Amino acid sequence: MSSFTLNGYGELILLGAVTTLLVALAATAFGSAIGVLMAAAKLSHSNVLRGIAGAYTTTIRGVPDLLVIFLVYYGGSATLSHVLGRSIEINAFSAGAVSLGLVFGAYATEIFRGAILEVPRGQTEAAAALGLSWTGSFVHVVAPQAWRLAIPAFGNQLTVLLKETALVSLVGLEDLMRRTGFAVEGTNRPFFFYLVAGVLYFVLSYVMTNAFSIARRKTATTLAR
């Protein structure tokens, strides 16, 4: 019974896994929104927008992810405290979702931009010939094909993001990694519990990878119709 319940830490570790998944999903949503906006900026005719998007992706991809987390967590708290005139501390979950979302968004920008450029120009010309506006052409013709092309790289980046959530434990988020650390300290069984954590990370990554594989096949089938 002790082994089955992981020496009483089983529920604690599973809750940590749930927290890890939630922060990954929140970061994905935030980062995807940034990726779409920055990809549009990079493809625009505005030098200013292209410059802003280029500076963002170059800067974020050029610094360690852990540094981004620290800057958001400590810098965000300091900025809010100064603006509001009282002590404010950003909670670890929000800091993790925002910082990892910023990192994810930098890579998603290039994924989306590349996918959009891969859609044949003739598709948009045909849509225009049928009377669709630019917006209608993008929503109904370009975006579905670009998404199909982006799914493999997007899924791979999401798997990377899931593993990077472990970094947020350094600012106090009680995720899978941090709660596993509690179990290690309480039982002095580091190999066993870190092995359990590794298995859970693998399971989460495996589920995500297969989910995107299914999504890709369904998208391809839908477009074929």
Question: Residues 17, 200: contact at Cβ < 8 Å?
Answer: yes
Q: What is the CATH number of the domain that holds 28?
A: 1.10.3720.10
Q: Are 16 and 180 in contact (CB under 8 A)?
A: yes
Residue 125 pLDDT class (50, 70, 90 cuts):
confident
Residue 5 lies in a domain: no
Domain count for the chain? 1
Q: How many C-alpha atoms does 196 have within 13 Å on its Cβ side?
A: 25
Min mean pLDDT across 83-87, 98-102, 198-202, 216-220 is at 216-220
Per the CB < 8 A criterion, the answer to whether 137 and 63 are in contact is no
Q: Which residue has the tokens 């410059």?
A: 51
Residue 113 lies in domain: 12-224
- Position 7 in a domain: no
Q: What average pLDDT does this structure show over 118-133?
A: 77
**C-beta neighbour count of 186 within 10 angstroms:** 13
Q: Is the pLDDT at 58 greater than 60, yes or no?
A: yes
Confidence of residue 7 (pLDDT cuts 50, 70, 90): confident
The answer to whether residue 6 is domain-embedded is: no
Question: 143 lies in a domain?
Answer: yes
Residue corresponding to tokens 């896994």:
17
Query: Span 204-212, mean pLDDT?
Result: 86
Tokens coding 206? 């495996």
| 59: in domain | yes
pLDDT at 45 over 70: yes
Is the Cβ–Cβ distance between 182 and 12 less than 8 Å? yes
The verdict on residue 169 lying in a domain is yes
208 within some domain: yes
The string of pLDDT tens digits covering residues 159-202 is 999 999 999 999 999 999 999 999 999 999 999 999 999 999 99
pLDDT of residue 2: 46
Residue type, 4: F
What integer pLDDT is reported at residue 221 of this predicted model? 61
If one compares 135 and 75, the residue with the highest pLDDT of the two is: 75
What pLDDT does residue 8 have? 85
The pTM assigned to this predicted structure is 0.88
Residues 24, 159: Cα–Cα separation, whole Å: 9
Between 104 and 223, the higher pLDDT residue: 104
CB atoms closer than 10 angstroms to residue 224: 6
- Does residue 99 lie in a domain region? yes
Distance CA 74, CA 171 (A): 9
